[in-house]
Amino acid sequence: MYCGCNPTALSSQLQISEALVRLMERKGYAEITVSELCRESGISRQTFYTLFHAKENVVVFTLQKKACELPREPETDASLEQLCRCYSRYICANRDFLRLLIESNAAHLLYDSIRNSLLCCPAHTGQRRWQYAADYLAGGLTGVARRYCIDEPAPGADALYEILFDLMSGAIFR
């Protein structure tokens, strides 16, 4: 996936991302082709493959546009409170797109995105225990996002934070 700073390339990535969302509002993710994405966005296939290697990369880009930002300095560990607050805001802010992913049976892409972002935490890079933790947390956060997207009415960000914190701290079992 393109990660440079060329304004034209960045604009094209955004156009493709927005086209994906529009298409997903009309049909399932699996039914969308790269050709359709290119037509909908007005971007050539050659440009698409220069910016994204596959359709899945467009989902990752779309999820990362408003990504949860945890501390990235090696000496700073993200606290459980920061993690829960960050992801509750992220899930609430991206509810519409997350719902489209869930309805398209593509929640595994959310799981992968969360897992990969957790594995990039410099304080834990390469630690075997952190790999297990990243799998566990990504699964839990994806499940919470799924429940949040189908709940009507959905709780607000503060209520979702409390739910996440109670789940992850073990307080829900007391």
Domain boundaries, the chain: 7-63, 66-173
pLDDT in tens, the chain (174 residues): 777 788 888 899 999 999 999 999 999 999 999 999 999 999 999 999 999 999 999 998 998 876 655 545 544 456 889 889 989 999 999 999 999 999 999 999 999 989 988 887 766 666 888 899 899 999 999 999 999 999 888 889 999 999 999 999 999 888
Longest CA–CA span in the chain (Å) reads 56
Cα gap 119→130, rounded to integer Å: 7
Burial class (CB in 10 A: 0-12, 13-18, 19+), 163: middle
Tokens of 102: 């869930």
**DSSP three-state, residue 90:** helix
Name the superfamily (CATH) of residues 7-63. Answer: Tetracycline Repressor, domain 2 (1.10.357.10)
How far is CA 58 from each of CA 3, 54, 109, rounded to the nearest angstrom? 12, 7, 10
Q: What predicted TM-score, i.e. pTM, was given to this entire model?
A: 0.82
Cβ–Cβ under 8 Å, residues 23 and 32: yes
